[in-house]
Amino acid sequence: MNATGGLLNVVDVEATCWDGDPPPGAVGEIIEIGLTVVDLGTAERVGRHRILVRPARSTVSGFCTELTGLTQAEVDTGLSFAEACRLLAREHRAGARPWASWGDYDRHQFTRQCRATGTAYPFGQHHTNAKAAFTEAHGLRKRPGMAQALQIAGLPLEGRHHRGEDDAWNIAALVLGVAARGSWPESS
């Protein structure tokens, strides 16, 4: 058992996006952080969180709203990116607790946005690519998307796909399935 009591943060972000190239001057920015806390010791999802983030250099397009269900008015009520990162560190022990995401997009998006805004990176070094762990545990040749992985695992898609809070919850179920097979990587 690691120093955080076997807890793992499963993170999924949604970012501003467009059907094609972004408008001039706009960049993809995190607008929602979904976080599910998994207790690997008890094999349970023990916390479900959603942090809305107000974009500073882009707006939510119609395409983005169609995909995620998030609107500009909704994300306008969110925290700044820096405030969201501080909240992750303070309330969710992001710097101390190991974390996972489906693929590397979320980790790279945080790295890019922290670098671009001068914000301290909120996470520690112990990141697991849950998609890679799932692929290996199931002996697959190709890495599936989250929805396809749920089908492979015989699990339902709970909530709305491409909604950070719901996707983190579903990814956490996949993580628990991988852990039940004894295939989840140990964190130090």
Q: Strands 30-39 and 7-15, how do they pair? A: antiparallel
Asked if the model's pLDDT at residue 84 lies above 80, the reply is yes
Query: What tens digit of pLDDT does each residue of 104-143 get?
Result: 999 999 999 999 999 999 999 999 999 999 999 999 999 9
Asked if the model's pLDDT at residue 4 lies above 90, the reply is no
How far apart, in Å, are the Cα atoms of 113 and each of 57, 61, 84, 98? 11, 19, 12, 20
Query: What tens digit of pLDDT does each residue of 134-161 get?
Result: 999 999 999 999 999 999 999 999 999 9
Q: Are 178 and 155 spatial neighbours (Cβ–Cβ below 8 Å)?
A: no
What's the confidence (pLDDT) of residue 186?
78
DSSP-assigned letters across all residues of 18-81: -SSSPPTT----EEEEEEEEEETTTTEEEEEEEEEB--SS----HHHHHHH---HHHHTTSB-H
Query: What tens digit of pLDDT does each residue of 14-57 get?
Result: 999 999 999 999 999 999 999 999 999 999 999 999 999 999 99
Query: What tens digit of pLDDT does each residue of 50-78 get?
Result: 999 999 999 999 999 999 999 999 999 99
- Element counts in the chain: helices (H) and strands (E): 7, 5
3-state class (DSSP) for residue 14: strand
What's the confidence (pLDDT) of residue 118?
98
Walk me through the domains of the chain, giving residue ranges and CATH numbers: 7-180 (3.30.420.10)
Note the Cα 154 to chain centre separation in Å: 21
